[in-house]
Amino acid sequence: MDTDPAPKLPPARERIGPIRVTLKQLYPEVVSALDHKNALELLVATILSAQCTDARVNTVTPALFARFKTASDFATCDIKELQKLIKPTGFYKNKAKHIRACCVAIVERFGGEVPGNLDDLVTLPGVGRKTANVILGDAFATPGITVDTHVGRLSRRLGLTRHRDPVKVERVLMELVPQEEWTKFSHRLILHGRKVCYSRKPRCEKCALATICPKVGVKGLAAKRKRKKKKEDSPQRTQRAERKKESK
Ligand code: SF4
E strands of the chain, at which residues?
none
DSSP state of 201: S
- For the beta carbon of residue 36, count every other beta carbon within 10 angstroms: 20
Active site residue 148: yes
Residue 114 and residue 198 in one domain: no
pTM of structure: 0.81
Residue 96 Cβ contacting ligand 1 at under 6 Å:
no
Would the CB of 118 count as within 6 Å of ligand 1?
no
Would you say residue 116 lies in a domain? Answer: yes
CA distance 150 to 72: 34
Check whether residue 230 and residue 201 sit in a common domain. no
Q: Which of 198, 209, 221 to mutate to test the pocket of ligand 1 (most atoms within 8 A of CB)?
A: 209
Domain boundary among 92, 119, 139: 139
The Cα–Cα gap between 33 and 28 comes to 14
- Collect all residues with Cβ–Cβ distance below 8 Å to 191 and sequence separation of at least 6: 26, 27, 30
Cα Rg of the chain (Å, integer): 22
Q: pLDDT tens digits, residue range 138-178?
A: 999 999 999 999 999 999 999 999 999 999 999 999 999 99
Q: CB neighbours of 164 closer than 8 A, spacing ≥ 6?
A: 152, 156
Residue 5 banded pLDDT, cuts 50, 70, 90: very low
> Which one from 35, 54, 120, 148 is the annotated catalytic residue?
148
Is 138 part of the annotated catalytic residue set?
A: no
User: What's the domain range around 19?
Assistant: 12-30+145-211
The CATH number given to whatever domain includes residue 68 is: 1.10.340.30
Which of 114, 139, 164 corresponds to the end of one domain? 139
C-beta of 216 in contact with ligand 1 (< 6 A):
yes
d(CA 25, CA 131): 26
Q: Is residue 26 lining ligand 1, measured as CB closer than 6 Å?
A: no
Q: pLDDT tens, 42-83?
A: 999 999 999 999 999 999 999 999 999 999 999 999 999 999
In sign, the C-alpha dihedral spanning 72, 77, 83, 88 is negative
Q: How far is the CA of 135 from the centre of ligand 1 (A)?
A: 28
For residue 5, is it within any domain? no
pLDDT tens figures, 90-147? 999 999 999 999 999 999 999 999 999 999 999 999 899 989 999 999 999 999 999 9
